[in-house]
Amino acid sequence: MNRIRYMVEKEIQQLRRNPVLLRIMLAAPIMQLILLSYAANYEVKNLNIAVVDGDHTTYSQRLVGKFRYLDNFRMTGYLASDKQARQTLLAGDADLVLVIPPHFERDLAKEGNTSVQLLLNAIDGSKAGIANGYATAIIRDFNADIRAETSAVAPGTIPALDIENQYWYNPKLEYKTFMVPGVLFELLILVGGLVSALNIVREKEIGTMEQLNVTPIRKHEFILGKSIPFVLIGLVLFTVGLLLGRFLFQIRIEGSVALMYVFALLFLILCVGLGLLISTLADNQQQALFVSFFLLVLFILLSGLFASTENMPEWAQWLNILNPLKYIIEVGRNVMLKGSTFRDVSRPFFVLAGMAIGLLLLASWRYRKTV
């Protein structure tokens, strides 16, 4: 038991002697939190829209005015012809062009129907899809306005069914709100998994590992002695991340903060277990770095941090059963944004706990004082 204390003390002394690493360990993840949350952004804003108005009437002006009103769109100007519209799209000066045909107002008033055309740059398919969705909604809205005005004149028109969306948990559909809880946990893998693996492999490289292996230190003493400092640093990091989320990103924690910490602790133990396992498999820091990096990228890309896991191919979803990051990100979002309680997230809790125990057992089985 005492040996664990000496191990922890030694690790902390060594960390203090390496202020650059300490600073990188704290600063890099925080920068990542800020950068990823602000930059990795799928919100579609500032869509450049150009208009070919072949009608020049009050109706056409009103339609265009509706686009101006929304801050997702930025009006770049009027164009004279379809030909010019194509050139504008080609040059990338507009993301979409609204083409209002001649006699737009007359047809709409007299015959009760007409059509407008949307030209979209669809190289980025998802962006074009979202732009199309916005534009269609505006046009539908315009249509509803006109019908409301004219319905007094033409009674008996069937009232249109109106769908009104209410976005729960992230009412403003802010990407930051979606990213922060995920990145917060993703950061812990860096310290818990990568840094701990490198730390132990370094002891192998410099020969102190062999020295420790001829001492009577027990496996669990070594493993705990190595784990505790990294779990503690991870918890400090997590706290900083939570504070940033609250005060910089203005994300209120709907659920229990204690529950968030329970999961942070569990996840850190899991990460350290993974780091330990990697360190028993790798002979030098290059190998450890390569293996960790490979796993890290795989975990992150499949985790649902950026893209929803439900839309992934079936094989990827199968792989994801083993991806601890997927569970913890789900939990983070649910507890932080939805206010889920332990009962709501008990399944991922037991899955993660099982993984953590499995990894630690595997690591201590692989860790041999005698080869």
**Residue 214 binds another protein, judged by CB under 8 A:** yes
Residue identified by tokens 């450890």 is 288
Closest CB 266 distance from another protein, rounded Å: 29
Residue 188 · residue 272 · CB < 8 Å: no
Closest CB 283 distance from another protein, rounded Å: 14
115 secondary structure, DSSP code = -
Long-range contacts of 19-25 (CB under 8 A, 24+ apart): 21/195, 25/190, 25/191, 25/195, 25/233, 25/237
Torsion angle (degrees, nearest 10) of CA 140, 142, 145, 149? -120
Pick one of 118, 217, 232, 289: the residue that binds another protein (CB under 8 A). 217
Q: Which is nearer to another protein, 225 or 324 (CB)?
A: 225
Q: Which is nearer to another protein, 166 or 370 (CB)?
A: 370
**Residue 216 binds another protein, judged by CB under 8 A:** yes
Of 204-212, 244-252, 290-298, 299-307, the window that binds another protein (rule: CB under 8 A) is 204-212
Closest CB 221 distance from another protein, rounded Å: 9
Pairing of strands 47-53, 73-79: parallel
Q: Which is nearer to another protein, 321 or 371 (CB)?
A: 371
Q: Which is nearer to another protein, 21 or 240 (CB)?
A: 21
Pick one of 206, 258, 315, 321: the residue that binds another protein (CB under 8 A). 206
Pick one of 18, 239, 250, 341: the residue that binds another protein (CB under 8 A). 18
**Residue 20 binds another protein, judged by CB under 8 A:** no
Task: Find the helix or strand (DSSP H, E) in which 278 lies.
Answer: helix 257-281
Pick one of 130, 212, 235, 253: the residue that binds another protein (CB under 8 A). 212
Closest CB 199 distance from another protein, rounded Å: 12
Q: For the residues of 8-63, what is the DSSP string, one character each?
A: HHHHHHHHHT-HHHHHHHHHHHHHHHHHHHHHS------EEEEEEESS-SHHHHHH
C-alpha pair distances (Å), 20 with each of 16, 92, 231, 238, 323? 9, 45, 19, 20, 31
Of 3-11, 87-95, 132-140, 259-267, the window that binds another protein (rule: CB under 8 A) is 3-11
Pick one of 103, 147, 246, 369: the residue that binds another protein (CB under 8 A). 369
What lies within 8 Å, CB to CB, of 313 at 6+ separation is none
Closest CB 209 distance from another protein, rounded Å: 9
Gap between the Cα atoms of 213 and 370, Å rounded: 7
Q: Which is nearer to another protein, 68 or 218 (CB)?
A: 218
The runs of H, that is alpha helices, within the chain are: 2-16, 19-39, 58-69, 82-91, 104-111, 125-151, 175-189, 196-206, 208-213, 219-247, 257-281, 285-302, 314-319, 324-333, 346-366
The binding track of 314-333 with respect to another protein, each residue x by CB under 8 A or -, is: --------------------
Q: Please give the span between the terminal C-alpha atoms of the chain, in angstroms, as a whole number.
A: 25
336 secondary structure, DSSP code = I
- Restricted to residues 268-287, the positions that interact with another protein (CB under 8 A) are none
**Residue 211 binds another protein, judged by CB under 8 A:** yes
Of 8-16, 43-51, 149-157, 238-246, the window that binds another protein (rule: CB under 8 A) is 8-16
Q: Which is nearer to another protein, 204 or 333 (CB)?
A: 204
For another protein, the binding residues (CB under 8 A) are 2-3, 5-7, 9-10, 13-14, 17-18, 206-208, 210-218, 369-371
